[in-house]
Amino acid sequence: MIPRWVRLAYWFSPLGPKAGPAVRREEIEWEGRRSLFYLPRSGRPVGAWLISPGAHPQGPDDPRLDRLARILADAGFAVLSPAVPDLMDLRLTRRAIEEVEAAFHQLCRRKELPPGCRPAVLGPCVGSLAALYLAASDRCSRSISAVVTMGAYADPGVLLDALVPPDGVPSRADPLNRPVLFVTLLDHLPGVPPRDRAPLTEAWRDYVRLTWPHAHLKTPGSVAHHPIARAVATRLGLPSEAERVFLMGCGVLPGGHDLCRAALFAPGAPYAYLDPRPILASVAAPVYAVHGRGDVVIPFEQLRVLADGLPEGVRRATYVTGFLRHSDLVGARTLLGMLPALLSEIRTGRSVLRTLAQVGNA
């Protein structure tokens, strides 16, 4: 029988078809919440994974997330990929963290899981925030076999600098991610009246829908998305001041960094929950942090900040690899550029895949 980590290696490699493997998939609902549940094509799963999603309007229907869940199910795991409304609306909220916790408890109750199964939690991108909260929660930590983060941030100030760089500072980041922070902080953005919040949110979601599917718009430093942003503002007829804030949130106009910083660190700390560092000392489950060396969103140095904040005695491992950009695998052309360091990358990749194969059935 092919080892699970080898099956994972095939599907995660450039050889694996983009559609992902054929597995059993069903849509399930509970208490008004929707999730996609994946199972191996045959037989009982050997373990389980919860995917703690990032901010994306498609939620579990995002083709990348669907493919990830299919790959894990093909390796023998049950996988729950929940739809979290706030995250699909691009809002990183406390309620979203609670929704992910509710999904974890739902997964634990599934009759398809083997007896005594403790699911693992996979948190790509900002989905790592909820994953770490679960690992620090008295209600969940003993039921989690491990948390695996991919491209996680530890310092919200670094997240701010990555998503909305200071004016005049060259950025190596994908320029399309700014709206996530603007929508999240919208209620406390200085000078934005309540009447403008709904039309601004609609405008940013429309902009994301039009831009995120196109890889050529994600090039750091690119301004190819500017005409799309201006067209959205014109079509929706935003008031002049709201249009100015909207264009800041798309990176068309300067001033967005200072605006977001004022909201993120506003008096009363309304967004203190976005900082995972205070909860790291309470994490009880093992944490395995994976980060791409060329991550175009979050600098890979955040991986060390996260690991250093964990309490003594908690198992942890960190993996920096060239095979990941952020939550995506690199393409073939980038892979060729890695050839001089390929042996080291293969060793790191094998360690990551063995971790994925093992922790989901603890």
**Burial of residue 31, with CB atoms counted within 10 A of its CB: 0-12 exposed, 13-18 middle, 19 or more buried:** exposed
Mean pLDDT of 294-308: 85
Which strand ranges, in their side-by-side order, compose the sheet holding 316-321?
Answer: 24-30, 33-39, 77-82, 47-51, 120-124, 147-150, 287-292, 316-321
Domain 4-155+275-359: what homologous superfamily?
A: Alpha/Beta hydrolase fold, catalytic domain (3.40.50.1820)
Which pLDDT does position 338 carry in this prediction? 34
Q: Where are the domains of the chain?
A: 4-155+275-359, 165-264
The structure's pTM equals 0.88
pLDDT tens per residue across span 99-117: 999 999 999 999 999 999 9
Percent of the chain with pLDDT over 70: 86
How far are the Cα atoms of 43, 132, 290, 314, 337 from residue 356, in angstroms, in the given order?
Answer: 20, 17, 11, 18, 26
Average predicted confidence (pLDDT) for the chain: 86
DSSP code string of 320-334: EETTBSSSSB--HHH
267 pLDDT above the threshold of 60: yes
Assess contact for 167 and 254: CB atoms under 8 A: yes
Which pLDDT does position 320 carry in this prediction? 84
Residue 323 has which token pair?
């095979």
pLDDT tens per residue across span 61-84: 999 899 999 989 998 999 999 999
- Please report which helix (H) or strand (E) contains residue 48, including its range: strand 47-51
Assess contact for 120 and 359: CB atoms under 8 A: yes
**∠ CA 64-219-348 to the nearest 5 degrees?**
55
Alpha carbon of residue 41 to chain centroid: 27
Look-up: residue for tokens 């003594």?
A: 312
